[in-house]
Structure 1
Amino acid sequence: MKHSGIDYEAVFQALPAAAALLTTDLVYADVNEAYLRASGRTRSQIVGRYMFDVFPDNPSDPAASGTRNLQASLLRVAATGERDAMALQRYDVEDPDRPGRWEERYWSPVNAPVVDADGRVALVLHRVEEVTELLRARGGRFGGEDRTRALEAELYTRARELQEVNERLRRAHAREREVALSLQSAMLPAPGPLGRHRGAVRYQPSVGSLNVCGDWYDLAELPGGCFAVAVGDVVGHGLTAAGVMGQLRSALSAAVRVADGPAAALDALGLYARSVEGAESTTALQTVIDCDSRTVTYSSAGHPPPALLHADGTVEFLDRATDPPLGARFEHVPRIQAEAAFSEGATLVLYTDGLIERRREDITTGLNRLADCLGRHGQADPDTLADTLLAELIPPGGNTDDTALVVVRL
């Protein structure tokens, strides 16, 4: 590629640092000469192959975690579009000429996104410095061979200590994540019966150690042949957000059973949220479906609009009753609500922002993606449609935000 007379392909190959371009599926698209020298591989052995088929972890070292750590970083960059400078990694490399012989190596990786014209991550730039090779090659600069060996020994010791700390943190985070996911599962049970209507719910945790439990959903039967569906999103992640989520979900579920409509239920929730630390700026959406009049009455506290897929295949976003999030106003103001009609066979979809929002992308783009997916797959049963929405709209490497999803066939 050339621009303003600069041959960027030549620049890439001439970079003194080892660099590789990977697809978002972590397949090598290209590598520079420094990368080939550092890895001891030829271009044909690397380009077009999955990264961790070329460079697996040492199978004889049960503590090896280079593959796992690097893969998590690369997928995070692909999913979020954010640069990630990793801590020093021990990542042994197999001698290509002597299979089964592994060389102990230490690397300092930096991973960065390469975006296309639409702002989406098209490639991941993986730049790596091999610290072990650098020290051996520059021994004379440190004041003699003995000092070089001492520095190498100290570096190896510090690197091993850092690797052990990283592994302990990883195990601790994994345990905490299991606790958070168990708490989320207990707080968000499977929905009960909704009369003759079929519904499906999904909860997809974000990528990361504790980034779960901020979002919720709720379905409830009401008197008179009506039922209520709600979703919400607490600011923040982890166990603290899970506790707030549990309180707000329970409060709204109780309020909608006695309040005169969804706006009144959100009014009650807003007053309650003022006494709950961490509930500020929570978004929530409450709907009430009247099966006799075939209407959806709804009210939103700063939440993305539900999608109503009509029987003729058109998609209507219910956005005529949106107010600020909970606690965003200095004084309490009654909330508004609106109503939409539907015919038999329509589908109502409620969700949290993880389904549609992406960094550096207008929310309209995400809403259009959702509408397009519903238009193509809306006739599927709710369970199949819920799975399809997650598969098509969530990035392959996962998302940095939770996603709650409710699909109800009306």
Structure 2
Amino acid sequence: MAEAPIDYAAVYRALPGMVALLTPDLVYADVNEAFVRGSGRSREDLVGRYLFDVFPENPNDPEATGAHHLRASLQRVLSTGERDTMAVQRYDVESPEHSGHWEERYWSPVNTPVPGPDGRIALIVHRVEEVTELLRVRGGAGDGRERVLEAELYTRARELQDLNNWLRQAHAREREVALSLQEAMLSTHRPVGHHRAAVRYRPAVGSLNVCGDWYDLVDLVRGHRIAVSVGDVVGHGLAAAGVMGQLRSALSAASRVADGPARALDVVGRYAHVVDGAESATAVTAFIDFDRHTLTYSSAGHPPPALLHHDGRVEFLDRATDPPLDAQPDPAPRPEAMTGFAPGAVLVLYTDGLVERRREDIDTGLRRLAGALRRHRGQDPEALADTVLRELLPPGGATDDTALVVVRL
């Protein structure tokens, strides 16, 4: 006996929880009945309209962050193709009956991608559970015990709000410390000879603004040469930043005395074995000789630098790649390779946050990078660095750190 087909549209409409379907442009494609009831908006107020036009941020609250966090979550879903479960958010809603009157509301959202036939995200399932009543106690009739319980719950809710405010202030202070540490270790305007170079650092979403990615530019003592390096320490936060600082300083010192980039990485690799937290750290360094128009490079498990030639050709420097810094108990000499360049070429070094995405081969990210460099090859290093980050990083922020160095040769 054949089974009766299931009317999934009817199931969707009857779901007890608030569920909306959003397009990749964050426009309401459909909403179920529970969403209509819970939001206080009609279907006509919702379907076909941009989410943040229907539910803007409360203009009377300068510290409101609900819309910002929701937008970042939805952008992460679009860029990664992964489900994103958000923490409880305060997101006030304007009363539909009284314009200008905003009601304090708390929500627990989950955003899930729905791929289309071509594999691209066609819809986002935006499921929301309102938890306002868990944090705000309603008044009402009842016996003495109920009123005492309500008063106790109200007190605990106020304590929770006070704790949340304290944590927000503590996080702001911690972020200030993190930013000071980042500025001390990764100067964004470090001159290297008279050559034009741009450096950028973007922390992962939700980090303290200091993580394990780093860059360095060093004037070499012999000839008209500089060394350019980037590296990546596994992890986030102040601990990873401490390891990053040690390895960066070691490579900076080794580059000044080594006869080439491979030898510099040999020295740092041996040092990495005695640094706690340096496991699986990667780095790539390039020695640029402006008199001979040559570039010598070596990589310890790091994505290959990109050399943008004057004619628009992009060459990935991948002929001297070895395992990460501490991968070998008894390190062997690392390989190095040399290539030539014409004046006006551009060298780009970066960390994996720029090109790697979940469920995507890294070659796809490298092709994106090459395309961006070709399209904008006439820009100066500062503008090119900003353009590359804007085109390659997800709009809501990446889930991994990114360091970027652009040098006009």
Mean CA deviation greater in 26-35 or 256-265? 26-35
Mapped contact 2:113–2:125 kept (Cα < 8 A):
yes
* Partner deviation per Cα, 1:73-116 (whole Å, 9 max, x = no partner): 44444454443434444544332122234445443332223345
For 1:270, the equivalent position in structure 2 comes to 269
Mapped contact 2:233–2:240 kept (Cα < 8 A):
yes
Mapped contact 2:288–2:294 kept (Cα < 8 A):
yes
Letter in 1 for 2:109: P
Structure 1: give runs of 5+ residues left out of the alignment.
Answer: 135-143
* Partner deviation per Cα, 1:121-140 (whole Å, 9 max, x = no partner): 55432211235689xxxxxx
For 2:124, the equivalent position in structure 1 comes to 124
Letter in 1 for 2:348: V
Q: Distance in 2 between matches of 1:97 and 1:355?
A: 47
DSSP-derived class of the 1:270 partner: helix
Q: Distance in 2 between matches of 1:394 and 1:78?
A: 12
Q: Does 1:206 pair with 2:204? A: yes
Share of identical aligned residues, percent?
Answer: 70
Letter in 1 for 2:267: A
DSSP-derived class of the 1:169 partner: helix
How many pairs align?
399
Q: Distance in 2 between matches of 1:65 and 1:266?
A: 44
For 2:403, the equivalent position in structure 1 comes to 404
Q: Distance in 1 between matches of 2:111 and 2:159?
A: 23
* Partner deviation per Cα, 1:290-336 (whole Å, 9 max, x = no partner): 22322211000100000011112111110111111111122222111
For 2:37, the equivalent position in structure 1 comes to 37
For 2:287, the equivalent position in structure 1 comes to 288
Q: Distance in 1 between matches of 2:16 and 2:126?
A: 14
Within a 5 Å distance, the mapping from 1:215-230 to structure 2 comes to 215-222=213-220, 223-230=222-229
Residue 284 and residue 391 in structure 1: after superposition, are their counterparts in 2 closer, same or farther (change >3 A)?
same
Mapped contact 2:72–2:397 kept (Cα < 8 A):
no
Within a 5 Å distance, the mapping from 1:246-325 to structure 2 comes to 246-325=245-324
Letter in 2 for 1:251: A
TM-score by length of 1: 0.86
Q: Distance in 2 between matches of 1:162 and 1:77?
A: 30
Mean CA deviation greater in 226-235 or 123-132? 123-132
Q: Distance in 2 between matches of 1:168 and 1:119?
A: 44
DSSP-derived class of the 1:177 partner: helix
Residue 379 and residue 62 in structure 1: after superposition, are their counterparts in 2 closer, same or farther (change >3 A)?
closer
Q: Distance in 1 between matches of 2:64 and 2:178?
A: 27
State the 1:379 CA deviation. 2.1
Residue 164 and residue 188 in structure 1: after superposition, are their counterparts in 2 closer, same or farther (change >3 A)?
same
Mapped contact 1:107–1:130 kept (Cα < 8 A):
yes
Q: Distance in 2 between matches of 1:46 and 1:174?
A: 36
Mapped contact 1:88–1:108 kept (Cα < 8 A):
yes
Mapped contact 1:302–1:322 kept (Cα < 8 A):
yes
DSSP-derived class of the 2:343 partner: coil
Mapped contact 2:107–2:129 kept (Cα < 8 A):
yes
For 2:242, the equivalent position in structure 1 comes to 243
Q: Distance in 2 between matches of 1:35 and 1:251?
A: 57
For 1:139, the equivalent position in structure 2 comes to none
Letter in 2 for 1:388: T
State the 1:276 CA deviation. 1.5
For 1:365, the equivalent position in structure 2 comes to 364
DSSP-derived class of the 1:380 partner: coil
DSSP-derived class of the 2:234 partner: coil
For 1:340, the equivalent position in structure 2 comes to 339
State the 1:404 CA deviation. 0.9
Residue 32 and residue 59 in structure 1: after superposition, are their counterparts in 2 closer, same or farther (change >3 A)?
same
Mean CA deviation greater in 72-81 or 182-191? 72-81
Q: Does 1:94 pair with 2:94? A: yes
Q: Distance in 2 between matches of 1:366 and 1:117?
A: 22
**RMSD after superposition:** 3.1
Q: Distance in 2 between matches of 1:117 and 1:244?
A: 45
Mapped contact 1:244–1:279 kept (Cα < 8 A):
yes
